[in-house]
Amino acid sequence: MSNQTYTVIFYLFAALTVFSAAFVVLTRNVLYSAFSLLFTFFGIAALYVFLSADFIAVTQVVVYVGGILVLLLFGVMFTNSIMNPGQKSEVFNIIPGLVIFAGVIGTLLYTFFNTQGWRTPAEPLQGSIVERIGFETMSRYVLPFEMVSILLLASLIGAAFLARFDKTGK
């Protein structure tokens, strides 16, 4: 495929990401917002693929789309009050949002126009970056990896303890 084709596909995924993220923020229907978040997460994963960050793209899909978004959708859909067709979000702060949006866009444009150039490595990476991440995780960073896994296990046990039903009748 030509370079121009990659550019067109990149801009399509960038537009999908920006418009679906804007819809997440601007819609007042909670269910539509959650489904728009799905397209935002997939668009971000596609942009990671264009950056040759395959591990982060797969992690984006597995963690955010496969875990967090599904949990969010189940929470929204199993809530009794969400079945009310007139259910809308209560807070809609457009003025602070526009101020923050203008600040972020201004900062990004300033950075874009004042960057002298990107430094690229002298030689491209050889092999899969996933293999390198796996090797580093299981050799040099095995202790922090195990500490994080114990922390996540403790938080899972704590969440299960807090979510259990109180059978004492109090």
pLDDT digits (tens, 9 = 90+) for 104-130: 999 989 988 888 776 666 666 666 777
Q: Please report how many Cα atoms fall inside a 13 Å half-sphere around the Cα of residue 135, on the Cβ side.
A: 6
Of 164 and 148, more confident:
148
Maximum mean pLDDT: which of 25-34, 52-61, 100-109: 100-109
Tokens standing for 85?
């067709």
pTM here is 0.60
Ordered by start, the domain boundaries in the chain are: 1-89, 127-170
Determine the pLDDT at residue 79.
Answer: 67
| CATH 1.20.120.1200 holds for 1-89 | yes
Q: What is 81-148 written as a DSSP string?
A: GGGSTT---S---HHHHHHHHHHHHHHHHHHHHH-------SSPPPS-HHHHHHHHHHTTTHHHHHHH
